[in-house]
Structures are given as C-alpha cells and as structure tokens.
Amino acid sequence: MQSVAETIENRVLVRYFAAAAEAAGCQEEWLSVRPGASLEQILARAVHLHGSSLNTVLTRCSFLVNGITRRDLALPASGEIDVLPPFAGG
C-alpha cells in the first residue's frame, strides 16, 4: 500500500522553444511529477512521453526554472520550466 505522500503529485509547466518544441510536438505541456522531483527527472518524463529525438535536443539546451537559469539538473524543480535550445542569429 502506498502512503499518502507517495500518491501526491506535483504539476509543472514545461515550455519548449524552437527545436525542442519541434522534437516534443508541442510548445508547452503540464507534467505530473512527484514533489521534490529534480529537473533531470522531469526532463526524463518528457523524453519518456516524446521519444529519443527530444532527448537528443535536450543535451544541447539551457533551462530556466521559474525564470532563473538552472545548470544543476539534480536540484528539485517546480513551477515553470523553459527549455531553450541554442538559437542561431542572435
């Protein structure tokens, strides 16, 4: 039997831009994750839903969590996540 804490889910808004949106097949989506999920776990959920082409793009992306640049994927993430691939032309 699962405890109440194990059944509670947190929803995060993931917004994809440019090549990331193309690979995901959408510009944004709500993902249900466990409270305290790391950015890495949230991105793994997105790859599970959208496939390896998204994973390929994610290896080159930068990430904003609630508008703040996030370099450590192991830290917990919640709220809004922006997935930003490299942009050409400035």
Tens digits of residue pLDDT in 11-48 = 999 999 999 999 999 999 999 999 999 999 999 999 99
Structural domains of the chain in order of their starting residue, each with its CATH number:
4-84 (3.10.20.30)
Q: What gap in Å lies between CA 53 and CA 73, rounded to an integer?
A: 19
What is the predicted pLDDT for the residue at 3? 47
Q: What gap in Å lies between CA 34 and CA 9, rounded to an integer?
A: 5
Cβ neighbours of 32 (radius 10 Å): 10
Q: What gap in Å lies between CA 50 and CA 14, rounded to an integer?
A: 13
Here the tokens at position 79 are 């709220």
Selected residue with higher pLDDT from 50 and 87: 50
Residue 84 has pLDDT above 70, yes or no: yes
How much of the chain exceeds pLDDT 70, in percent? 88
